[in-house]
Structure 1
Amino acid sequence: MKQRTLLAALALLTLAQPARAQTESDDTAAKASISQATQLIREHKAQEALAMLEPAVAVANDSVAKAREDGLAFCASDITLAVLYSAMGAKENKPSVVFGPEVCSAYFLEAYVLTELGRRDEAIGELQILRGLSPMDAQYASELAFAYIKTGRISEAEAAYQNALDYAEFFGDKDKARHYRAAALRGLGYVAIDKNDFDAAEDFYKRSLKIEPDNPVAKSELEYIRQHRAN
């Protein structure tokens, strides 16, 4: 079913208006900011990284707002997702502006840094913006789900993990697709344990191990389930 959906989207792309992007100078500046912020994150300098990212995020906000004045706005970290988002605009007969991975990265890194600084609600806000711009990206769905779990929003986490599971196969990179499918299954397993549904949790973790057989988290959680049942 999803394969047919993808083929239909590829067909619709021939009808889409050309996607616009940031100007070349904006793109270059964003890449530089993201590169420097990434290095600062590696050096555990979260506050400095946040300051470095803020101009890139501001430019992204402005570009997205302008794009939405006329139609739809997306960002894509993967060429397959870019194709799908362009097709979504064609289907609605609207111009579809697909920004490159720099826009996605700006929001994603800002969310990461805000989390590191203990500003979880703000981080969730950035991830929600990112999900709106890249609604079929399994990585961003999983990150938002994890953030929801950390703030006790379990039902929202479950929905986001389910989205990640549904959309993982849309990655052009099949290794990445498998990884995020397994990650989503582990997330759903965590949610099932929180709901005291140990049978469902066991099923999710076992399914994840079929994809990533050596994952220590899944193995540990299955052992936890075994010990819970023994008690």
Structure 2
Amino acid sequence: MVYARTLVFTVLACCLSAAFAQGTTSAPAANAASAPAPAAAAAPRPTENTAELDEVSRLMRAGKLQEALVLADAVVQSYEDRYRRGKIQVFASRSPAEAQAYLNEMGRKPTPGKEAMEAGVYPSTWGDAYYLKSFILTEMKRFPDARKAIEAAVALAPHNAAYRAELGQLVLKEKNFDQAAKEFKRAETDAREFSPTSVRNRELARALRGQAFVLVEKKDLDGAEKIYNECLKLDANDPVAKAELRYIAQKRAQQQSGAGK
């Protein structure tokens, strides 16, 4: 019997734990008004709104999706109200290095007299709220809304590999394999450079698995096999990589059987 494949590479519990394994900051991590360009990013501080997001996670696991969605929206709105208004650009970062990258990539010095209104880097909890909102909407089969939510998370944290990979997952559901591959490749790059040590291998593996899945869909079994084996170097017990390698072996056996007839 041929192994039945799925677009879901990780169970919900793993995704939720990944969301909260990120280093966050409780106040603006950096702001263009507080230092000369490029501004210096502050060190992480204790988190804010994590209790609410823990409750979102609990509600999701209990199957109370509508309640979870309402609470996730409340956390999102609290950040939007506090930090978005009047600013040209806002970011949500997990680390000083990530925050610094965003400020550097703005590519310009603050306009004199308007620094406080132009840009800032804020807690990653802001992005996590959008991230979990996207999960909830996906579970509710509201895929266009789920994509909007994850795109909002990616806009806040373009170098967050977890957000980027989740966007890739939703693009996969649309069968847009080329765009999905691009998102997963960006997630790989960001995981290697910016993901916190505690979740780097997990986020890297997810990005790699996404790329390999696309290659299988494009019938590049050799390329997919190579990437899945990279996943096993990160985690020798990776169940998805193992299952996909079995699937590839089955496909090759079918091809050889067909060629021999």
Normalising TM by the smaller chain, what interval?
0.7 to 0.9
1:214 paired residue among 227, 237, 257: 237
- Residue number among 93, 109, 120 corresponding to 2:109 in the alignment: 93
Query: How has the CA–CA distance of structure 1 residues 226 and 144 changed in structure 2, closer, same or farther, with 3 Å as cutoff?
Result: same
1:118 Cα deviation after fit: 1.1
How far apart, CA to CA, are the structure 1 residues paired with 2:247 and 2:39?
53
Given that residues 154 and 163 in structure 2 are in contact (C-alpha distance below 8 angstroms), is that contact kept between their aligned partners in structure 1?
yes
In 2, distance between residues paired with 1:40 and 1:176?
23
Q: State the Cα distance separating 1:39 from its structure 2 match.
A: 2.3
Give, in whole Å, the separation in 1 of the partners of 2:91 and 2:190.
16
Gaps of 5+ in 2: 1-34, 111-117, 255-261
Q: C-alpha deviations, 1:183-218, integer Å up to 9, x for none?
A: 211111100011111111111111221111111111
CA deviations on 1:95-122 (whole Å, 9 max, x unpaired) are 5301102211211111111111111110
Alpha-carbon contact 2:41-2:100 (below 8 Å) kept? no
Residue 17 of structure 1 deviates from its aligned partner by: 4.2
Determine the C-alpha separation between the residues in 2 that align with 1:106 and 1:168: 20
Identify which of structures 1 and 2 has the higher relative contact order when contacts are C-alpha pairs closer than 8 Å and 6+ apart.
Answer: 2
Cα shift at 1:31: 4.0
Task: Give the letter aligned to residue 43 of structure 1.
Answer: A
Mapping of residues 71-90 of structure 1, within 5 Å: 72-89=89-106
Aligned partners of 1:92, 1:188: CA distance in 2, in Å? 34
Query: 2-side partners of 1:32 and 1:180: how far apart?
Result: 23
CA RMSD in angstroms comes to 2.4
Q: Distance in 1 between matches of 2:82 and 2:179?
A: 29
Residue identity in the other structure for 1:80 = A
The residue identity in structure 2 corresponding to 1:152 is: K
* 1:148 alignment partner, one of 167, 171, 188: 171
Aligned residue for 1:61?
A: 80
Answer whether contact 1:37 1:52 (CA < 8 A) is retained. yes
Please tell me whether the aligned partners of residues 19 and 96 of structure 1 are also in contact (alpha carbons under 8 angstroms).
no
Mean alpha-carbon deviation: is it higher for 165-174 or for 184-193? 165-174
2:160/2:195 contact within 8 Å kept: no
Of 54, 73, 88, the residue aligned with 1:35 is 54
Gaps of 5+ in 1: 1-12, 21-26
TM-score, L = length of structure 2: 0.72
Over 3 Å counting, the alpha-carbon distance change for 1:206 and 1:17 in structure 2 is closer
CA contact 1:79–1:172 (8 Å) conserved in 2:
no
Q: Which has the higher helix share?
A: 1
Check if 1:117 corresponds to 2:134. no
Task: Determine the C-alpha separation between the residues in 1 that align with 2:198 and 2:246.
Answer: 27
- 1:167 Cα deviation from its structure 2 partner: 0.9
Matched, 1:16 2:21: no
